[in-house]
Structure 1
Amino acid sequence: MQAMDSAARHTTALSERIRAAAHDKTPLRIRGGGSKDFYGLKLQGELLDTRALSGIVSYEPSELVVTVLAGTPLAELEAALAAQGQCLAFEPPHFGAHSTVGGMVAAGLSGPSRANVGAVRDFVLGLEMINGQGEVLRYGGQVMKNVAGYDVSRLMAGSWGTLGLITEVSLKVLPHPVAEATLRFADCSQQQALQHLNHWGGQPLPLNASNWLQEDAQSQGTLYLRLRGARAAVHAACLRLGGELLNAETTAADWRASRDLTLPWFAARAADHCLWRLSVPATAAPLPLPADATGPFIEWHGAQRWVQAPRSAAATLQQLAQSVGGSASLFRAESPHQISGISDFDTYAQSSAAGRTSAQIHARLKQAFDPSGIFNVGRLSANW
């Protein structure tokens, strides 16, 4: 009860500060642990820290639902779930020890198992937020339905704090898989890996995550495949697919490193290269990358491809991704202390009719939730 009273006081204080900022047209920068400050066009405004809103409000393991305050450390939530044999199945990246639950939802980023289990937004059941007028609003199946037709609780996933301040979120959780195995397929070219993944994806196999990379110039490449599910299903899949069965303890650490982009492939990035994220159809063929690019590092069964390339490669990478029906965005800048500085949202909006329509919808949503334009100004778009 005391924790709930404390949360209510902090929420009231934040609401009052936002109301005053809206009146004075003072930009506010929403920030939890700051683990994702590397992403976006720019960071500006008075800091609005969410970390005082910390703690698990309610947790019903038998119902597979947890409600958490937004400033709660992500590691703390995962530890509480693990104690009950449960987890966040979408494996949210941490990018640092101070990552928070609110930041996880606002960023909308998912880990290696995204292609199999779904994204962050698929696990958001409801939330409480403060809009740009200082109003505390609740959305979700148990509370209210947005009359405009939007599932607002899921709309906030990936909004990067541009629509409002998340104060509390309810999430669906899942039991830890009963069995897990990682298979390694050496001397596997990119083309072969994509063919394997597309073929296996159409079969009743417990595929959960995959990585492909060329670890050195002498090899064609290596495909790593993670299986999760019932013991019989995982065992049968291992026998059927072949490959080399790897040590479970070692691979657990490797998959966490894959989640947080700290594998040696990412750490070896050249000083003048940025990290680019290409989102493409899983069935897309290997892309002819620029000569000065390194990669790709492929995950999500082919749908997410990381490339290391200089900033000057922006147009080429965007054209390549768009040619197969995807998109490219600058995820990390050259320096770890620098934000990306490219408005990928605006670039997408200018590239096609669909992009322009999407931008118009986003602009209307921004006007509805933050009419004074005070939240995370310039984070996603140069225009708001």
Structure 2
Amino acid sequence: MDAALFQITERVRAALADHTPLRLRGGGSKDFHALQLQGDLLDTRDWRGIVSYEPSELVVTVRAGTPLAELEAVLAAQGQCLAFEPPHFGAATVGGMVATGWSGPSRASVGAVRDYVLGVEILNGRAELLRFGGQVMKNVAGYDVSRLMAGSWGTLGLITEVSLKVLPVAPGETTLRFDGLSQAEALQRLNQWGGQPLPLNASCWVPDAAGADIGTGT
């Protein structure tokens, strides 16, 4: 076992013996959330690195403490990306991205974080290292614990490794802006666009002194 993972495992084992709660944290980029921060800090950032990456298979396996920006840079070099556009809010990590389950504006058209999780390795409350899922989309053996980890906020176990489906970067995108639309008009246009086969990633209606602006990206 790698030294960094061994230390994390020993921390969990010691906390179990002492009945001491642990506060799991990667980059701390989601600390502003309303969840109460309590317990001894267990930092995962030493457990980092890309375990395997097969661009032709659209699959990457990465350790939880890996900076999200680092993973996205590696994917971008191959013309690929995390299609659900995870927010960073600073020094986000891959484990934190999955644990919080937060997606970006493209969720409406491509799906959420959980839809791209193929497999996970976790450390449970008994300091046992468990694996669920795999590195393929068609994995139907047993319960889908892998996707259950998305949005669990560390309550079901410490994510140590995750396999993700990635997608090619879109060949192009554009942003449209329309001035002077009322809220009703803006909603009407969004409903019309929503009924078409367009990958709309985001929309925004901003009132101003002259009326309002609406913008949409695809």
| Normalised TM-score (structure 2) | 0.93
Secondary structure of 2:109's aligned partner: helix
Deviation at 1:224, TM superposition (A): 1.2
Q: Which of these residues, 75, 78, 81, is aligned with residue 81 of structure 1?
A: 75
The match for 2:155 is 162
Name the Cα RMSD after superposition: 1.8
Secondary structure of 1:169's aligned partner: strand
Say whether residues 1:225 and 2:211 are aligned partners: no
Say whether residues 1:17 and 2:8 are aligned partners: no
The match for 1:121 is 114
Q: Deviations over 1:251-309 (max 9, x none)?
A: xxxxxxxxxxxxxxxxxxxxxxxxxxxxxxxxxxxxxxxxxxxxxxxxxxxxxxxxxxx
CA–CA distance in structure 2, aligned partners of residues 90 and 70 of structure 1? 18
Secondary structure of 1:80's aligned partner: helix
Secondary structure of 1:66's aligned partner: strand
Which residue identity is paired with 2:67?
Answer: P
CA–CA distance in structure 1, aligned partners of residues 85 and 51 of structure 2? 21
Q: Unpaired runs of 5+ in structure 2? A: none
Deviation at 1:146, TM superposition (A): 6.9
The match for 2:183 is 190
Which residue identity is paired with 1:209?
Answer: N
Aligned pair count?
A: 216
CA–CA distance in structure 1, aligned partners of residues 113 and 6 of structure 2? 27
Distance 1:17 1:86, change over 3 A: same
Matches within 5 A, 1:120-139: 120-139=113-132
The question of whether the paired residues in 2 share the 8 Å contact of 1:212 and 1:221 is answered with: no
Deviation at 1:188, TM superposition (A): 1.9
The question of whether the paired residues in 2 share the 8 Å contact of 1:90 and 1:117 is answered with: yes
The question of whether the paired residues in 2 share the 8 Å contact of 1:193 and 1:212 is answered with: no
Say whether residues 1:172 and 2:174 are aligned partners: no
Distance 1:136 1:219, change over 3 A: farther
The match for 1:65 is 59
Which residue identity is paired with 1:61?
Answer: P
The question of whether the paired residues in 2 share the 8 Å contact of 1:58 and 1:67 is answered with: yes
Which residue identity is paired with 1:118?
Answer: G
CA–CA distance in structure 2, aligned partners of residues 116 and 27 of structure 1? 39
The question of whether the paired residues in 2 share the 8 Å contact of 1:127 and 1:139 is answered with: yes
Distance 1:137 1:145, change over 3 A: farther
Deviation at 1:142, TM superposition (A): 5.1
Secondary structure of 1:35's aligned partner: coil
CA–CA distance in structure 1, aligned partners of residues 62 and 134 of structure 2? 16
Distance 1:142 1:56, change over 3 A: closer
Distance 1:44 1:145, change over 3 A: farther
The match for 1:28 is 22
The match for 2:201 is 209
CA–CA distance in structure 2, aligned partners of residues 122 and 194 of structure 1? 28
- When Rg is computed on C-alpha atoms for both structures, the one with the higher figure is 1
CA–CA distance in structure 2, aligned partners of residues 91 and 202 of structure 1? 23
Greater share of strand:
2
The question of whether the paired residues in 1 share the 8 Å contact of 2:98 and 2:149 is answered with: yes
| Normalised TM-score (structure 1) | 0.54
CA–CA distance in structure 1, aligned partners of residues 49 and 109 of structure 2? 29
Greater share of helix:
1
Distance 1:63 1:146, change over 3 A: closer
The question of whether the paired residues in 1 share the 8 Å contact of 2:135 and 2:163 is answered with: no
The match for 1:360 is none
Q: Which of these residues, 38, 44, 60, is aligned with residue 50 of structure 1?
A: 44
Deviation at 1:145, TM superposition (A): 6.3
Which residue identity is paired with 2:121?
Answer: E
Comparing 171-180 with 14-23, greater Cα deviation is found at: 14-23
Deviation at 1:72, TM superposition (A): 0.4
The question of whether the paired residues in 2 share the 8 Å contact of 1:86 and 1:175 is answered with: yes
Deviation at 1:215, TM superposition (A): 4.5
Which residue identity is paired with 1:193?
Answer: A
Structure 1 vs Structure 2: percent identity of aligned residues?
A: 66
Say whether residues 1:111 and 2:104 are aligned partners: yes
CA–CA distance in structure 1, aligned partners of residues 165 and 41 of structure 2? 30
Secondary structure of 2:84's aligned partner: coil
The question of whether the paired residues in 2 share the 8 Å contact of 1:85 and 1:176 is answered with: yes
The question of whether the paired residues in 2 share the 8 Å contact of 1:185 and 1:222 is answered with: yes
CA–CA distance in structure 2, aligned partners of residues 40 and 104 of structure 1? 17
The question of whether the paired residues in 1 share the 8 Å contact of 2:134 and 2:163 is answered with: no
Secondary structure of 2:174's aligned partner: strand
Which residue identity is paired with 2:192?
Answer: H
Deviation at 1:190, TM superposition (A): 2.3
Q: Unpaired runs of 5+ in structure 1? A: 228-384
The question of whether the paired residues in 1 share the 8 Å contact of 2:25 and 2:43 is answered with: yes
Which residue identity is paired with 2:33?
Answer: Y
CA–CA distance in structure 2, aligned partners of residues 59 and 26 of structure 1? 37
